[in-house]
Amino acid sequence: MTKAIIFDMDGTLFQTEMVLEYALEAVFADLKSEGKWEGEAPLDAYKDIMGVPLSVVWGTLLPEETEQVREKINGKFQGYLISSIREGKGALYPHVKETLADLKEAGYTLLIASNGLPDYLKAIMDTYHLDRYISDVFSIAAVPSGDKGELVEKVCRTYEVTEGTGVGDRLSDFNAAHRNRLKAVGCRFDFSKEEELKEADVIIDDLQELKNI
């Protein structure tokens, strides 16, 4: 019987945009050198679909490439992201650690459910020492369907969550929370969209506001 708060990672706790541009430009520079891309890296297109599974990302950005090529590109992309994180190019959002510390002290079990892959999430957790506050991290790789709702269901089942809140910035986060009978808190941060935030039960502009909900 657990009282839990389940957080998204990208665009909720971690300022993904700070490493995203570097990694995307690097991987598309590789594609350009191989004659598979022309022009600038599609940063705006990526931001627009941020939060969907990576298979959908590469299918959208590179629709004419084979699945094998997309997997290879994603591997390079993940490598660039992880190296950026470990080199300190990223950052948490303001007040993340203070908020997590206060919520943990208040008796909540804090968990992560993310569309990110395990090594990427581990790089963030290790770099910012989030294991001081977060009890467990669940990657979308844990569910073959790639469905965020199913991932949150796995989290709730594993930790016997009976009362909880899902915190995220995109529609998939709010739908996943509601599907599992959790309150949905929407973060009005970098990648959020106003039309999607309408589906959240509560909207916040700073993580500190969680302590008052």
pLDDT per residue as tens digits for the range 98-107:
999 999 999 9
Together in a domain, 140 and 194:
yes
* Cβ pair 70, 59 in contact under 8 A: yes
Residue 202 domain boundaries: 2-15+92-212
How far, in Å, CA of 175 to CA of 187, rounded?
Answer: 14
pLDDT computed for residue 44 by the predictor: 86
Q: Which of 55, 86, 117 is the last residue of a domain?
A: 86
Q: Which of 51, 86, 121 is the last residue of a domain?
A: 86
In tens, the pLDDT along 157-175 reads 999 998 899 999 999 999 9
pTM: 0.92
* Max mean pLDDT range (38-47, 63-72, 82-91): 82-91
Q: Which of 108, 85, 123, 131 is nearest to 182 (CA)?
A: 108
How far, in Å, CA of 71 to CA of 61, rounded?
Answer: 13
Together in a domain, 69 and 147:
no
Confidence of residue 1 (pLDDT cuts 50, 70, 90): low
* Cβ pair 163, 3 in contact under 8 A: yes
Together in a domain, 133 and 41:
no
Together in a domain, 76 and 147:
no
pLDDT computed for residue 21 by the predictor: 87
